[in-house]
């Protein structure tokens, strides 16, 4: 099996590529800085793309089994100025259009396009469970996710199956949120964020990769899927569990006003949440290796 991964230099893309290569498949990471992508295992290569068009990489997609579109500027890399918000949105739309252009060009079309999204699609929510049929939210992240998902819809008219992965907080020691979450605990100042009642729709990276591969290989799977563990937890519970696994206290809350002052609008990532559940993923037969947060963090931190 040959799989193309746009935005593949990110931590999810690298983990997915390594998993595929470990089972004898071929993974191609598409990056705007391909020459700087090093340390790849056998069976994985990096190729350059411009993030906007099919130029230079469409031949790679001819006869490929899947395209996994993960490309998009990191939403947590800095304050959301007007300029940054524009880049966050445009980078995702450009990547989606490039995928559509490529699928249109090639003679032997991929069997499936896996389109990245996030649980931010639903906007901030309270304690109610959020399955996939929940309507989209109205805030900036929700609007970005709606546009991101819509960017590759045209491939369906070309006869290509499409599955959308609305990922929660993917936990890995190699990148993403967990290393930043751990830092204050290392200095004995860890604790909940704000009031701690916001829900954290987490997923172990191994289950994230397994779910993506499941959706690639399961020919009957299409539409939107929440890639979150079956048992989300509140931020306070997550902080307590993380502190316990690290052998550190978790009694130092970070006040909401301080986070909003420091991060501005971007603080919604920390202070708001969704109790998203993987209803459709479970229905199509996916079995989670880490459904509970305690064993997941224990495995990651051992």
End-to-end CA distance of the chain: give it in Å, rounded.
Answer: 33
Which of 30-39, 169-178, 206-215, 235-244 is the least confident region? 30-39
Given a cut of 80, whether residue 118 has pLDDT beyond it is yes
Given a cut of 80, whether residue 35 has pLDDT beyond it is no
What is the chain's mean pLDDT, rounded? 95
pLDDT attached to residue 183:
93
Q: What confidence tens digit (pLDDT) does each residue in 4-13 have?
A: 999 988 899 9
Distance separating alpha carbons of residues 125 and 116, to the nearest angstrom: 21
SS3 245: helix
3-state helix, strand and coil shares in percent for the chain, rounded to the nearest 5: 40, 20, 40
Distance separating alpha carbons of residues 288 and 127, to the nearest angstrom: 22
pLDDT attached to residue 214:
98
Among the CATH numbers 3.90.1300.10, 3.40.50.720, 2.30.140.10, 3.90.1150.10, which is that of 2-170+204-228+277-289?
Answer: 3.40.50.720
Find where tokens 């599955």 sit: 163
pLDDT attached to residue 123:
97
Give the mean model confidence (pLDDT) for residues 214-232: 97
pLDDT attached to residue 240:
97
Give the mean model confidence (pLDDT) for residues 29-44: 87
Distance separating alpha carbons of residues 68 and 70, to the nearest angstrom: 6
Which of 89-98, 114-123, 178-187 is the least confident region? 178-187
Give the mean model confidence (pLDDT) for residues 64-81: 93
Domain definitions of the chain by residue range: 2-170+204-228+277-289
Which of 34-48, 100-114, 166-180 is the least confident region? 34-48
């Amino acid at each position: 099996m040959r799989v193309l991964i746009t935005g593949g230099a990110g931590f999810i893309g690298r983990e997915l590529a390594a998993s595929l290569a470990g089972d004898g498949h071929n993974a191609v990471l598409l990056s705007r800085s391909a020459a700087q992508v090093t340390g790849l295992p056998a069976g994985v290569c990096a190729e350059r793309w411009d993030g906007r068009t099919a130029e230079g990489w469409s031949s790679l997609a001819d006869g490929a089994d899947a395209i996994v579109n993960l490309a998009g500027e990191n939403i947590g890399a800095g304050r959301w100025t007007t300029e940054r918000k524009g880049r966050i949105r445009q980078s995702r739309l450009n990547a989606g259009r490039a995928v559509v252009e490529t699928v249109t060009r090639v003679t032997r079309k991929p069997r499936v396009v896996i389109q990245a999204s996030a649980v931010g699609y639903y906007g901030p929510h309270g304690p109610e469970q959020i399955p996939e049929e929940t309507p989209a939210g109205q805030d900036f992240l929700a609007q970005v996710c709606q546009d991101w998902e819509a960017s590759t819809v045209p491939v369906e008219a070309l006869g290509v199956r499409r599955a959308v992965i609305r990922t929660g907080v993917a936990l890995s020691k190699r990148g993403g949120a967990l290393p930043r979450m751990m830092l204050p605990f290392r200095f004995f100042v860890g604790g909940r964020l704000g009031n701690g009642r916001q829900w954290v729709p987490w997923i172990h990276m191994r289950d994230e990769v397994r779910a993506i591969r499941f959706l690639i290989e399961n020919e009957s799977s299409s539409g939107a899927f929440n890639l979150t563990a079956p048992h989300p937890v509140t931020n306070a519970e997550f902080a307590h569990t993380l502190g316990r696994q690290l052998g550190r206290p978790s009694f130092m809350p970070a006040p909401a006003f301080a986070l909003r002052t420091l991060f501005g609008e971007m603080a919604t990532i920390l202070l708001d949440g969704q109790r998203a559940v993987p209803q459709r993923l479970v229905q199509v037969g996916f079995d989670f290796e880490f459904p509970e947060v305690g064993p997941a963090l224990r495995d990651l931190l051992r």
